[in-house]
Amino acid sequence: MSADGFRFELGGRDGAARMGRLHTAHGTVETPAFMPVGTAATVKAMTPEAVAATGAEIVLANTYHLMLRPGAERVERLGGLHRFMNWERPILTDSGGYQVLSLTALRAIDERGVVFQSHLDGSRHELTPERSIAIQRALGADISMAFDECTPYPVDEAAAAASMRLSMRWAERCRAAFVERPGHALFGIVQGGVYPALRAESAAALAGIGFHGYGIGGLAVGEGQARMFDVLDRTVGLLPDDAPRYLMGVGKPADIVGAVARGIDMFDCVLPTRSGRTGQAFTRRGPVNIRNARHIEDPRPLDPDCRCPACAGYGRAYLHHLWRAEEILGRMLLTWHNLYYYQELMAGLRAAIEAGALDAWAAEFAAGQAAGDIAAL
């Protein structure tokens, strides 16, 4: 389903994997795509210009956090989220459903929505499907997400079914509340835990309602990679082929490669930025822990094949020094490197799909990760 000005253009395929292009009100996005997480209207330890320099074409922001601080209506008065955070490219906003589950200790869920206490100051708030959509519109998101209940893991099938069906009823209300504007879109979210029949029911319900794209939620919450891939194997093919598919909150590089091979087009995760702030760098030969003392006199870059500023200008010894000295620059450089690595990963996947060589590319990727960091040899 396409909105005026919003379009998903499918390009090459390689098995279930596909490459394409999202057309939005604020520009195009090449897929498969990874979205850096800018929860509170900032990608931590990065300027918007630095984020763009990594190759990122779209970022994610969050309804829950922005409704609490500084407030969606205030952002709207200041010209919308793009102007507020100085990001002129597309923005996807998460609906807030996951944060209500994960951050609020006191909450009440019913058919209307969720009443909860802010994790910031304990103030009382209500978030309904209609309110979530209104907030995302006020923010000016290019892609809004339907408000859902993120089913916890583990959970029995009966509880997963009740949660999923509530989310489907909320999805209908979100679709009714969404105001069509050129270049803007609304994605539904497939739920159902690890139960194939529930995932199929959810996918059919969302396709029947009709969304511009489809998220797959409730994964990467502790079920493990093998089970996550099994859910994707049973779910992705049930979604409309002409719409983008977004695996929410995923993940590690190997998770992304496996999910792309199964037909996923979009990803987001805090892992590259959080890892950068905690001393871990992702490389073509697996992760590097810059806190490790073995880097103390190592002049080599994190990854000799990487062209990011951290690798082009600094050695491991200096990055290790920055970490030990608790200098902010160390966190910034590792974050920049990780986001650059993720964008290079996505570019490699797109090129492999276009060339019909994804299997060979994925095998080479896996071999590099398994080889381990050369400094450890």
For residue 193, the 8-state DSSP code is: T
Q: Cα-Cα-Cα-Cα dihedral of 241, 244, 250, 256, to 10°?
A: 60
Tokens representing 371?
A: 């080889």
Query: What is the 3 state secondary structure string of 237-284?
Result: HHCCCCCCEEECCCCCHHHHHHHHHCCCCEEECCHHHHHHHCCEEEEC
Catalytic residue check, 121: no
Instruction: Give the DSSP H or E segment for 83.
Output: helix 81-85
By three-state DSSP, how is residue 33 classified? Answer: strand
Among 14, 142, 268, 373, the one annotated catalytic: 268
By three-state DSSP, how is residue 35 classified? Answer: strand
Distances (CA, A) of 200 to 27, 135, 192, 211: 33, 30, 8, 16
Among 14, 94, 148, 255, the one annotated catalytic: 94
Question: CA-CA distance, 37 to 259, in Å (whole number)?
Answer: 19
Residue count of the chain: 377
Residues taking part in catalysis: 94, 268
